[in-house]
């Protein structure tokens, strides 16, 4: 499967927080089709015991890479009302899609942050999840689409699976709406093949100090602060790699790294990912150069850490 075909298919699968099953099933099918071609055949843990999460254990792990499966979106309430799942941008007229017991849904968001609704011509079953209508655009410099956060993080983690010798690659759930899966995943990891460090394969944002085409972002802090000793080692290795990277320092934001830090285990963590424009909109935009740097940096760091 050509890499852009796999990525395009992944981007078209709905996976709003709490409804990750379809994305998880697609990824499981891909893993079982491809794993025999990888450098090391992993042990795969998935299914109902793991609530749509997937864990892959390669060799003798020292590091775990986490990539969340879910996206932001909307849930139908009553009287055509919508409420947010995660933190989607509220854009008047944006196209939303989903389905309920009566069939497929395609509608528009109307209203603003003071109250917003759908314009579907019939009532939609309460609890129905709606997501942005997908429109993937790829040119020589950029990919633009909905849900690059975190489908590109998943994509990078899957590319890592091709060459990794030792490590966990973990696909988590619920990250966009408060998290919740990482604690039980860490417990399983620490009881079966414990690790000392975790890397968070996710997507961050462009800022005045983080720009397109300048490499993958190594986050020194967001709302939470990883341990400096380990960050220094990662940055030293990044310099050694020759792969383009840039450093991020932010006051806000979070990821599955928060749950690693708040866990009862002494596990260091670092967020590493490509930056994007138009965060949590249908038009998230990422540099292909930065995405390639992200993929190569994970391969390098997991081998060295």
* Mean pLDDT, rounded, of the chain: 96
Name residues of the chain where pLDDT drops below 50. Answer: 1-2
b (16+ CB within 10 A) / e for 183-218:
eebbebbbeebebebbbbbbbbbbeeebebebbbbb
Tokens representing 225 are 């602060």
- Spatial contact of 257 and 186, defined as CB atoms under 8 Å apart: no
pLDDT of residue 4: 80
Residue spans of alpha helices (H) in 35-181: 148-161
User: Could you tell me if residue 195 is left (phi over 0), alpha (psi between -120 and 50 degrees) or otherwise beta?
Assistant: beta
d(CA 278, CA 276): 7
103-121: per-residue pLDDT in tens? 999 999 998 777 999 999 9
pLDDT of residue 113: 73
- Spatial contact of 277 and 144, defined as CB atoms under 8 Å apart: no
**pTM for the full model?**
0.96
- Spatial contact of 271 and 208, defined as CB atoms under 8 Å apart: no
- Tokens 């963590």 locate to 269
How far is CA 153 from its chain centroid? 5
Measured on CA atoms in the order 112, 113, 118, 123, is the torsion positive or negative?
Answer: negative
Domains in the chain: ranges and CATH: 3-71+137-304 (3.40.630.10), 73-132 (2.40.30.40)
Residues 6+ apart with CB under 8 A from 142: 212, 285, 286, 287, 288
Tell the burial category of 87 from Cβ atoms under 10 Å away from its Cβ (0-12, 13-18, 19+): exposed
């Amino acid at each position: 499967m050509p890499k852009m075909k796999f990525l395009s298919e992944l981007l078209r699968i709905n996976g709003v927080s709490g409804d990750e099953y379809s994305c998880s099933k697609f990824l499981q099918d891909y893993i079982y089709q491809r794993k025999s071609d990888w450098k090391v055949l992993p042990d795969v843990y998935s299914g109902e015991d793991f609530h749509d999460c997937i864990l892959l254990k390669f060799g003798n792990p020292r590091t775990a890479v986490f990539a969340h499966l879910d996206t932001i979106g909307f849930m139908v309430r009553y009287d055509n009302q919508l409420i947010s799942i995660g933190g989607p941008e509220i854009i008047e007229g944006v196209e939303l899609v989903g389905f309920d017991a009566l069939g497929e849904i395609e509608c528009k968001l109307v209203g603003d942050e003071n109250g917003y609704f759908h314009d579907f011509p019939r009532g939609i079953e309460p609890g129905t999840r709606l997501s942005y209508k997908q429109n993937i655009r790829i040119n020589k410099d950029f990919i633009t689409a909905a849900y690059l956060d975190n489908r590109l993080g998943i994509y990078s983690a899957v590319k890592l699976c091709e060459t990794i010798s030792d490590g966990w690659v973990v696909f988590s759930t619920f990250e966009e709406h408060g998290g919740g899966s990482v604690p039980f995943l860490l417990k399983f990891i620490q009881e079966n093949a414990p690790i000392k460090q975790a890397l968070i394969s996710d997507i961050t944002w462009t800022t005045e100090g983080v720009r397109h085409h300048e490499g993958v972002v190594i986050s020194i802090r967001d709302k939470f602060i990883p341990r400096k000793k380990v960050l220094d080692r990662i940055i030293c290795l990044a310099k050694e790699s020759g792969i383009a990277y840039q450093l991020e320092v932010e006051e806000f934001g979070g990821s599955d790294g928060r749950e690693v830090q708040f866990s009862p285990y002494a596990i260091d963590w670092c967020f590493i990912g490509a930056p994007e424009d138009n965060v949590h909109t249908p038009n998230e935009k990422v540099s292909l150069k930065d995405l390639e740097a992200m993929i190569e940096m994970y391969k390098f760091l997991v081998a060295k850490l």
